[in-house]
A and B are shown apart, each in its own frame.
Chain A
Amino acid sequence: MTHDRADILIIGAGASGAAVAWRLSDAGLRIVCLEQGRWHKPGEYSTSFPDWEFRGATSFSFNPNVRALPEDYPVDDTASDVTPLMFNAVGGSTVHWTAHAPRFHPSDFRVRSQDGVADDWPLSYVDLEAYYDLNDQWMGCSGTAGDPANPPRAPRPMPSLPLGPDGERLARGFDSLGWHWWPSDSYINSVPYRGREACNNCGPNGLGCTVQAKASTDVTYWPAAIANGVELRTGARVFEVTTDSSGRATGARYFDAAGTVQSQPARLVVLAANGIGTPRLLLLSTSERHPNGLANSSGLVGRNLMFHPCAAITGFFDDGSDPTWRGPLGNILLSQEFYETDSTRGFVRGYTFQMNRSTGPARTALGFAMAPVAWGERHHADFAMRFGNSTTVIALGEDLPEEHNRVELSASLTDSNGIAAPKVSYRLSKNSARMMAHACRQAEKVLNAAGAHTVKATPQLRPSGWHLMGTARMGDDPRRSVVDHSGRAHDVDNLYVVDGSVFVTGASVNPTPTLQAIALRAADHIRKAQHP
Chain B
Amino acid sequence: MMTLSAVMDRLVPPIDDLPGAGTMGLAPEVESLARRHAPYQRALATFIEKLAPKWSADLPASQQDALLRDLEAADGAAFTAVLELVYLAYYGDPRVHRRVGWRGGALQPEGFPLAPFDPEILQTTRQRKPFWRQA
Q: What number of residue pairs across chains A and B have CB atoms under 8 A from each other?
A: 173
Q: Which residues of chain B in 1-51 are interfacial with respect to chain A, using CB atoms and an 8 Å cutoff?
A: 10-13, 15, 33, 36-40
Q: Does A303 contact B (CB under 8 A)?
A: no
Residue from B40, B65, B97, B117 whose CB has the most chain A CB atoms within 10 Å: B117
Contact with B along A155-177 (1 / 0, CB 8 A): 00001111110001001001100
Given contacts A200-B111, A202-B108, A202-B111, contact A163 B132 (CB under 8 A): no
Q: Is the pair B97, A361 in contact by a Cβ cutoff of 8 Å?
A: yes
Q: Does A388 contact B (CB under 8 A)?
A: yes
Q: Is the pair A376, B87 in contact by a Cβ cutoff of 8 Å?
A: no
Q: Does B101 contact A (CB under 8 A)?
A: yes
Q: Which residues of chain B in 79-95 are interfacial with respect to chain A, using CB atoms and an 8 Å cutoff?
A: 80, 83-84, 87-88, 90-92
In the bound complex, residues from chain A placing their C-beta under 8 Å from that of B129 are 148
Q: Is the pair B112, A202 in contact by a Cβ cutoff of 8 Å?
A: yes
CA gap between A163 and B128 in the complex, in Å: 20
Q: Is the pair A162, B116 in contact by a Cβ cutoff of 8 Å?
A: yes
In the bound complex, residues from chain A placing their C-beta under 8 Å from that of B12 are 375, 379
CA gap between A151 and B13 in the complex, in Å: 54
CA gap between A175 and B125 in the complex, in Å: 7
Residue of B with least CB distance to A179? B125
Nearest-neighbour CB distance to chain A for B78, whole angstroms, equals 14
In the bound complex, residues from chain B placing their C-beta under 8 Å from that of A174 are 125
CA gap between A66 and B115 in the complex, in Å: 37
Partner of A159, one of B110, B116, B124, B126: B116
Nearest-neighbour CB distance to chain A for B27, whole angstroms, equals 16
Query: Of the 9-residue stretches A24-32, A72-80, A180-188, which lies at the interface with chain B?
Result: A180-188
Residue of B with least CB distance to A181? B125
Q: Is the pair B84, A57 in contact by a Cβ cutoff of 8 Å?
A: yes
In the bound complex, residues from chain B placing their C-beta under 8 Å from that of A326 are 112-114
Q: Does B96 contact A (CB under 8 A)?
A: yes
Partner of A323, one of B101, B119, B130: B101
In the bound complex, residues from chain A placing their C-beta under 8 Å from that of B128 are 148, 180
In the bound complex, residues from chain A placing their C-beta under 8 Å from that of B105 are 50
Residue of B with least CB distance to A191? B116
Q: Is the pair A53, B92 in contact by a Cβ cutoff of 8 Å?
A: yes
Q: Is the pair A377, B13 in contact by a Cβ cutoff of 8 Å?
A: yes
Q: Is the pair B83, A375 in contact by a Cβ cutoff of 8 Å?
A: yes
The dominant DSSP class at the B interface is loop
In the bound complex, residues from chain B placing their C-beta under 8 Å from that of A383 are 100
Q: Does A506 contact B (CB under 8 A)?
A: no
Partner of A211, one of B65, B108, B114, B122: B108
Q: Is the pair B112, A182 in contact by a Cβ cutoff of 8 Å?
A: no
Partner of B87, one of A150, A203, A365: A365
Q: Does A415 contact B (CB under 8 A)?
A: no
In the bound complex, residues from chain A placing their C-beta under 8 Å from that of B10 are 375-376
Given contacts A106-B132, A326-B114, A376-B13, contact A361 B100 (CB under 8 A): yes
In the bound complex, residues from chain A placing their C-beta under 8 Å from that of B121 are 163, 168, 171
Q: Is the pair A373, B87 in contact by a Cβ cutoff of 8 Å?
A: yes
Contact with A along B51-79 (1 / 0, CB 8 A): 00000000000000100100000000000
Q: Does A114 contact B (CB under 8 A)?
A: yes
CA gap between A204 and B80 in the complex, in Å: 23
Q: Is the pair B104, A376 in contact by a Cβ cutoff of 8 Å?
A: no
In the bound complex, residues from chain B placing their C-beta under 8 Å from that of A204 are 107
CA gap between A171 and B126 in the complex, in Å: 12
Q: Which residues of chain A in 215-267 are interfacial with respect to chain B, using CB atoms and an 8 Å cutoff?
A: none
Q: A57-B88, A59-B37 are in contact. List 15 more A-B contacts (CB 8 A).
A: A106-B134, A107-B135, A125-B135, A148-B132, A161-B117, A203-B112, A323-B101, A327-B114, A361-B91, A361-B100, A362-B91, A364-B91, A365-B87, A372-B83, A380-B15
Sample 16 A-B pairs with CB under 8 A, ordered by A number: A47-B107, A48-B108, A48-B109, A50-B92, A52-B106, A53-B92, A54-B88, A54-B92, A66-B39, A106-B132, A162-B117, A199-B111, A200-B109, A211-B108, A360-B102, A375-B83
